[in-house]
């Protein structure tokens, strides 16, 4: 086996990736599949951090008028903790040592996020799952992933999605949309390619954090992306 290109990565997973075909709740088969991929990458010598979303449990954008934005965002942060604990349990069941760190204090369930402690866990070969977003409302889990990637000095931010890369338009709506193998941060922001929100893209751009966007549904893609293989679309300077 060749040595991995990257020493440390921060994987961004959507909450829907744990929900199976329905994209809701936590599907055992989907959870097991994702965990197996993470185990394979970690077993190949890559230090793995993970940020998982909450769309399978709660989507703040659909909160309605009865729940304010701030409350809805905090509810979403709590939902990411649920997903993180599920992922932790599945990984531990596969023999992978893990730690969950949260941006909001829940001492009975997980460690509070401390950058130095997170890095130490990674150096010891543990998979660190970052939950609770940034700990602040008005920021997405994409932004949380960008922030954690920069903080732990990851070398790439792989983002697993429902499509196999970045397109010039929504490929589900526009059959003429073209897949891009590489795109710059400025182009992604200017053309509003909806890869990540503008805050996350800007943070990655300012800190030279490349993003690899790829399809989660293809077996082995997490492993390939974590090791620096060519998958999906690469967003760089």
CA distances from 19 to 3, 30, 139, 209, 217 (A): 33, 7, 22, 28, 13
Average pLDDT, the chain: 93
* 201 half-sphere exposure, CB direction, 13 A CA radius: 21
Domain boundaries, the chain: 8-161+211-230
pLDDT digits (tens, 9 = 90+) for 44-98: 999 999 999 999 999 866 666 788 999 999 999 999 999 999 999 999 999 999 9
At residue 170 the predicted structure's pLDDT band, cuts being 50, 70 and 90, is confident
Q: Cα 132 from chain centroid?
A: 13
At residue 123 the predicted structure's pLDDT band, cuts being 50, 70 and 90, is very high
pLDDT digits (tens, 9 = 90+) for 205-216: 999 999 999 999
Neighbours of 42 (CB within 10 A): 23
pLDDT digits (tens, 9 = 90+) for 2-48: 666 899 999 999 999 999 988 999 999 999 999 999 999 999 999 99
Q: Which CATH architecture has domain 8-161+211-230?
A: 3-Layer(aba) Sandwich (3.40)
Q: Residue 1: what pLDDT?
A: 55
Taking residues 208-234, report their average pLDDT. 94
Q: Residue 60: what pLDDT?
A: 67
Q: Residue 110: what pLDDT?
A: 97
Question: Rounded CA gap, 186 and 181, in Å?
Answer: 15
């Amino acid at each position: 086996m060749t040595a991995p290109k990257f020493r440390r990565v921060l994987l961004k997973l959507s909450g829907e990736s744990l929900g199976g075909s329905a994209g809701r709740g936590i599907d055992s088969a989907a959870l097991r599949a994702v965990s197996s991929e993470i185990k394979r990458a970690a077993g190949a010598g890559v230090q793995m951090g993970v940020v998982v979303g909450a769309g399978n449990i709660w989507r703040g954008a659909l909160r309605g008028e009865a729940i304010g934005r701030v409350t809805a965002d905090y509810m979403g942060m709590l939902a990411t903790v649920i997903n993180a604990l599920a992922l932790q349990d599945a990984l531990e069941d596969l023999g992978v040592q893990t730690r969950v760190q949260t941006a909001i204090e829940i001492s009975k369930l997980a460690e509070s996020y401390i950058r130095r402690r997170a890095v130490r866990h990674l150096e010891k070969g543990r998979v660190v799952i970052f939950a609770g977003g940034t700990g602040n409302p008005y920021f997405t889990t994409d932004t949380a992933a960008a922030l954690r990637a920069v903080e732990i000095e990851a070398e790439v931010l792989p983002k697993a999605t429902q499509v196999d890369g970045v397109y010039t338009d929504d490929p589900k709506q526009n059959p003429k949309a073209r897949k891009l193998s590489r795109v710059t941060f400025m182009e992604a922001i200017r053309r509003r390619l909806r890869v990540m929100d503008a805050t996350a893209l800007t943070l990655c751009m300012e800190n030279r954090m490349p993003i690899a966007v790829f399809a989660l549904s293809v077996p082995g893609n997490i492993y390939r992306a974590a090791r620096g293989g060519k998958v999906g679309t690469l967003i760089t300077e």
